[in-house]
Amino acid sequence: MSPAGGRAPLEVSIKAKAYLSASGKTLETLREIAFALDKGKVGAIVGPSGCGKTTLLRIVCGLDTRFEGVIVRPDSGRLAVVFQEPRLLPWRSVEDNIRLAAPGIEEAELAKLLATLGLVEHRRHFSNELSLGLARRVALARALAVHPDLLLLDEPFASLDAATAGGLVEAIADLVEARPVTTLLVTHDIDAAVRLADVICVLSDRPARLLAQIPIPRPRRRLTPDAEAQIARQIAASQ
Amino acid sequence: MLRLLSLGLFAASWEIGALLAGPRNLPAPMEVLRRLALEAQSGALFFHLGVTLLRVAAAFTIAMAIGAMIGFAMGRNRVADRLGDPWLILLLNLPALVIIVLAYIWVGLNEVAAIGAVALNKIPNAIVTMREGARALDPQLDEMADVFRFSFATRLRHVLAPQLAPYFAAAARSGLSLVWKIVLVVELLGRSNGIGFQINIAFQLFDMTLLLAYALPFVGVMLAIETFVVQPFERNVSRWRPRAA
């Protein structure tokens, strides 16, 4: 997937990641995971739950540095993460949550972002008054407001009902299409991964290894249901 | 409305108590009010009240500042917590009177010893409360602030302060009530002015009217501070929480 010559904006090469459990045993969570992501592309990490997807994401965004391997991030290195728990400041309004992360944001851009994500009427609400689905949208708005070179999404559709999750998938697809951002998406929702990603990395059960990298043909939003089903089968077969 | 009713009930039971106990043990409310007005006219009441309030303010400020810093450090840093804990337990369990007497003996019968002794009595409580606050800080928000590269000032004002504010308010509230009680003891033992000093005189003369005439305005001021400063502050810092039904 990495182009010949030239460095991809995101290169992940993890030899091993282990941690000491509470009972004193060493548990290996990740082993031999290497992939790269070209500029402006969307990569999805799928795998069984509990296999270490979130650990992988924490390593990629630099929050976890205790692992063997190398991560190369985009040069200017502006990072944005949409955490699984939206991690908004509950004592600040939706608008303030976005402005605190992106102090320089123009009013017009903020308004557009809120409109795209359907948050206009919630602008002045405290963020703990929002439902999980809305809070995830605010977290997404905050992440995009900083104009990241690398966007990381950790299970953005978990614990949402199908309609809400579907709406969020569409919103992310629109936003990423309108302004390409190198994006890494962690999910166990294969349908969502197929709809959003340019390439899907399939992880095994713990300790997670990279089983397959499946490219998604473009234009991905016009895939027929048949083609989607075929990719889903391909993913299932590799697991 | 309920508060007024409760206050009225208090005044009525005082009146009845005065009738039963006799003016020597419990003077009637009007008697105390007359004496209070007399003391206010001469200016003595305001002088002593002012001196005491200044001591309360100084001791409270010093104790909250030092206590909050040490408490935060101990809540965030395991080594600091281990090192500080035995000192904290010692200070927590040292009787106020011991600290006051030691301060007067070592430092001398002066203002530094008085305010220092009061502050030292309050500091361990502030530390304990603020340490809990620092321990309860949400690591997830810390990580979020890291990822989005919040500046130090932003982090302090928008991430840390709102999380610590309820603990600070709790420490301030319990601290204020502790400080003003101990200030009177300090004044009684080694100062020649302030409410505590006046109460000492009243005690030596067995003058109940004078005692109450000084104690009541002091309680009144403390109630006012609680109602108009501490409670609004608490409401303000927790306004983002959904109201309990």
Question: How does pLDDT run along chain B (245 residues), one tens digit per residue?
Answer: 788 899 899 889 999 998 888 888 888 888 899 999 999 999 999 999 999 999 999 999 999 999 999 999 999 999 999 999 999 999 999 999 999 999 999 999 999 999 999 999 999 999 999 999 999 999 999 999 999 989 999 999 999 999 999 899 889 888 888 898 899 999 999 899 999 999 999 999 999 999 999 999 988 888 888 888 888 888 887 777 776 54
Residue B37 identity (one-letter amino acid) = A
Per the model's pLDDT, the better-predicted residue between B215 and A238 turns out to be B215
> CB of B185 within 8 A of CB of B69?
no
> CB of A18 within 8 A of CB of A160?
no
Complex ipTM, two decimals? Answer: 0.82
Res A3: pLDDT:
42
User: Nearest-CA neighbor of A118 among A96, A86, A94?
Assistant: A94
* B49-237: CATH class: mainly alpha
CA distance B240 to chain A (A): 5
Q: Is B152 on the interface with A (CB under 8 A)?
A: no
> Tokens 């409401």 label which residue?
B235
Q: Is B146 on the interface with A (CB under 8 A)?
A: yes
Res A2: pLDDT:
41
The domain limits of chain B are: 49-237
CA distance A149 to chain B (A): 12
Q: Per the CB < 8 Å rule, is A61 touching B147?
A: yes
Is a pLDDT exceeding 90 seen at residue A32?
Answer: no
Question: Which domains does chain A possess?
Answer: 10-78+148-238 (3.40.50.300)
Q: Per the CB < 8 Å rule, is B144 touching A100?
A: no
DSSP string, B175-224: HHHHHHHHHHHHHHHH-SSSHHHHHHHHHHHT-HHHHHHHHHHHHHHHHH
Nearest CA in chain A to B157: A100
Most confident of the ranges A35-49, A126-140, B127-141: B127-141
Least confident of A214-218, A226-230, B1-5, B26-30: A226-230
What are the residues of chain A with a beta carbon less than 8 Å away from any beta carbon of chain B? Answer: 61, 63, 79-81, 83, 85, 87, 89-92, 96, 100-101, 103, 126, 128-129, 142, 146
Res A169: pLDDT:
86
Res A5: pLDDT:
40
Least confident of A12-21, A112-121, B193-202: A12-21
Q: Which of B144, B162, B240 sits opposite A87 (nearest CB)?
A: B144
Q: Phi-psi bin for B30: left (phi > 0), alpha (psi -120 to 50), beta? A: alpha
CA distance A101 to chain B (A): 6
Q: Could you give the percent of chain A with pLDDT greater than 70?
A: 92
Q: Is the previous residue joined to A3 through a cis bond, with omega within 30 degrees of 0?
A: no
As to burial, measured by CB atoms within 10 angstroms (0-12 exposed, 13-18 middle, 19+ buried), residue A227 is: middle
Residues of A with CB below 8 A from B150's CB?
100-101
First-residue to last-residue Cα distance in chain A:
20
Residues of A with CB below 8 A from B159's CB?
89
Q: Per the CB < 8 Å rule, is B148 touching A126?
A: no
Mean pLDDT of chain A: 83
Token pair, residue B26, equals 């419990």
